[in-house]
């Protein structure tokens, strides 16, 4: 099955990819570091609660944390060792935001707890549950728990599964190398995900400049006799790998604002996620490792490494021959990545690249100048937003009102690709403003929800007090009525007795 691109999304950039050096060598095993730093966070901060204690011995594959939120994920010990500490530690997120981490002192034995030898799941619900228990999340983006896309699936329309292998960020080549080295696992994982989605067909989307990958995938699809999965090449334009942009290119359809691809009958997963699903179902391996690209001008041996979750960045940089001239360490690519304060941070499930750059390879910090309303940012925005207008609202004097106007102009549709910042002649870091606006609006929404909840509780309390007061008043009225009735009855009895007494006295006188 071949599906050719039907459309092109608005805007985008053509960038130098810098991927050849890191993609030349096959995947390399990063081995077992002395220590693992496992951040118990996924999908925009939703965390998991530890189920182990400091000093406890753990084994490979053992559950060490369960999610505290429906959008959290299960975490397993990537290898055997001892729980050295459970504490707050910097992570690979924006600003290296600290979160609860489990520190494992590895023992080098890599001893499994046990492996479930049960038969492979057959029903879609069994597949979804296996994915959930394996702790699998989206390995190419925000880390959304994989099973939720299928739990919330509406089966009223035919579903298409898209496997995203369009790695549009410069320098990042982990998915390309994974497709070259593990094509069969990716295809088999795609089949399992299609069963979970009850999808009619699947599409593996790759960029049109990696022909070797297509031939590898096609060869294995034909060897397995699969007719409902096809490989489609898409234009190498940044950010084609974005979820909404790739859907537009493949189908010509646009995901409505505020909705998910499921509204179009589409589910999208990363190629690494498909491979992880194959490992979980066919080999009973939870998500314990991921492929990380280690590259940059400060690295002498760039490559792609299969690293255990929690592997310190310093361990990977050493394997890649990182030199002392490193000036900036970025997690992710140069467009959407985050600079790290140091290398004593652990690989997370969503960590796809470590970019080590010397001072000569980084853009100097040029002070931002006023917006000149040139419109270049509008031309490249893949979401067809008005970046300069959003900046105007976010920088307004009446902060709350202007932020609400930014919401009305769809600031939450911004995918933070950085294309607008890249072309801005005034060197304005536009994406930082949009991130700020979204976080502030989310905070205001939480405050508003809490205020409404408090108001509702207050109104319920007032209604409860009024009800209790009314009930007490009713009881007092009933008691008063009973007392009044009793007094009246006693008076009537006394009157009758008085008449009888008087009649008896009158007879005696006669």
For position 361, what pLDDT does the model report? 77
Digit-coded pLDDT (tens) for 454-491: 999 999 999 999 999 999 999 888 877 766 776 677 77
Q: Classify 289 as helix, strand or coil.
A: strand
For position 484, what pLDDT does the model report? 72
Over 50: is that where the pLDDT of 499 sits? yes
- Residue 23 marked ligand-binding: no
Give the distance, in angstroms, between the CA of residue 491 and the centroid of all CA atoms in the same chain. Answer: 81
For position 1, what pLDDT does the model report? 42
- Residue 101 marked ligand-binding: no
For position 377, what pLDDT does the model report? 96
Which of 423, 434, 326 is closest to 378 using CA atoms? 423
What the chain holds in terms of domains, given with CATH numbers, is 20-107+129-340 (3.40.50.11540), 368-510 (1.10.1060)
- Residue 174 marked ligand-binding: no
- pLDDT tier, 510 (very low <50, low <70, confident <90, very high otherwise): low
- Residue 417 marked ligand-binding: yes
Average pLDDT for 293-310: 96
Over 60: is that where the pLDDT of 55 sits? yes
Average pLDDT for 254-278: 92
**Range with lowest mean pLDDT among 129-133, 167-171, 363-367:** 363-367
What is the secondary structure of 371-413 as a DSSP string? -----HHHHH-TT---HHHHHHHHT-SSHHHHHHHHHHTTGGG
**Range with lowest mean pLDDT among 273-277, 319-323, 395-399, 423-427:** 395-399
* Selected residue with higher pLDDT from 373 and 362: 373
- Residue 420 marked ligand-binding: yes
For position 258, what pLDDT does the model report? 85
Q: What is the arrangement of strands in the sheet containing 326-331, beginning at the earlier edge strand?
A: 28-29, 303-308, 289-295, 353-358, 326-331, 338-340
- Residue 374 marked ligand-binding: yes
Tokens 């007090």 -> residue: 465
- Residue 353 marked ligand-binding: no
Number of residues in the chain: 510
For position 2, what pLDDT does the model report? 43
- Residue 377 marked ligand-binding: yes
């Amino acid at each position: 099955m071949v599906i050719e691109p039907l459309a092109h999304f608005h805007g985008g950039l053509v960038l130098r990819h810098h991927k050849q050096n890191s993609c030349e060598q096959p995947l390399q095993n990063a081995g077992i570091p002395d220590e693992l730093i496992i951040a118990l966070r996924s999908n925009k901060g939703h965390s998991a609660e530890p189920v182990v204690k400091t000093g406890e011995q753990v084994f490979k594959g053992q559950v060490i944390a369960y999610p505290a939120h429906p959008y959290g994920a299960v975490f397993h010990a990537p290898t055997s060792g001892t729980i050295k500490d459970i504490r707050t530690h910097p992570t690979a997120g924006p600003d290296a935001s600290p979160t609860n981490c489990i520190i494992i002192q590895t023992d080098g034995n890599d001893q499994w707890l046990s492996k479930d030898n049960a038969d492979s799941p057959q029903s879609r619900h069994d597949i979804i549950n296996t994915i959930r228990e394996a702790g699998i999340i989206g390995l190419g983006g925000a880390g959304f728990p994989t099973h939720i896309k299928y739990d919330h699936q509406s089966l009223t329309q035919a579903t298409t599964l898209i496997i995203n292998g369009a790695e549009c960020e410069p320098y990042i080549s982990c998915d390309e190398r994974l497709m070259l080295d593990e094509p069969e696992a990716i295809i088999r994982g795609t089949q399992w995900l299609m069963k979970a989605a009850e999808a009619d067909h699947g599409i593996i989307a790759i960029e049109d400049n990696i022909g070797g990958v297509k031939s590898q995938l096609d060869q294995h699809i034909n060897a397995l006799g699969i007719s409902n999965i096809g490989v489609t090449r898409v234009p190498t334009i940044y950010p084609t790998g974005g979820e909404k942009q790739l859907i537009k290119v493949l189908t010509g359809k646009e995901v409505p604002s505020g909705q998910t691809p499921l509204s179009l009958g589409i589910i999208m997963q990363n190629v690494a996620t498909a491979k992880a699903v194959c490992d979980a179902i066919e080999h009973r391996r939870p998500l314990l490792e991921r492929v990380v690209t280690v590259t940059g001008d400060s690295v002498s041996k760039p490559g792609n490494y299969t690293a255990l979750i929690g592997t310190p960045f310093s361990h990977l940089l050493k394997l890649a021959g990182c030199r002392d001239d490193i000036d900036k360490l970025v997690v992710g690519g140069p467009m959407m990545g985050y600079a790290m304060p140091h290398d004593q941070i652990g690989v997370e499930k969503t960590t796809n690249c470590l970019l080590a750059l010397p001072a000569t390879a980084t853009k100097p910090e040029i002070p931002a100048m006023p917006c000149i309303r040139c419109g270049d940012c509008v031309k490249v925005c893949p979401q067809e937003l008005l970046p300069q207008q959003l900046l105007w609202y976010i920088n307004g004097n009446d902060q709350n009102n202007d932020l609400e106007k930014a919401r009305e102009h769809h600031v939450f549709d911004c995918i933070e690709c950085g294309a607008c910042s890249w072309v801005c002649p005034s060197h304005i870091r536009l994406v930082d403003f949009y991130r700020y606006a979204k976080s502030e609006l989310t905070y205001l929404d939480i405050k508003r929800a809490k205020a409404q909840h408090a108001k509702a509780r207050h109104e319920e309390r007032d209604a409860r007090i009024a009800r209790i007061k009314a009930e007490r008043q009713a009881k007092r009225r009933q008691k008063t009525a009973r007392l009044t009735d009793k007094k009246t009855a006693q008076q009537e009895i006394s009157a009758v007795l008085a008449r009888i007494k008087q009649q008896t006295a009158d007879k005696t006188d006669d």
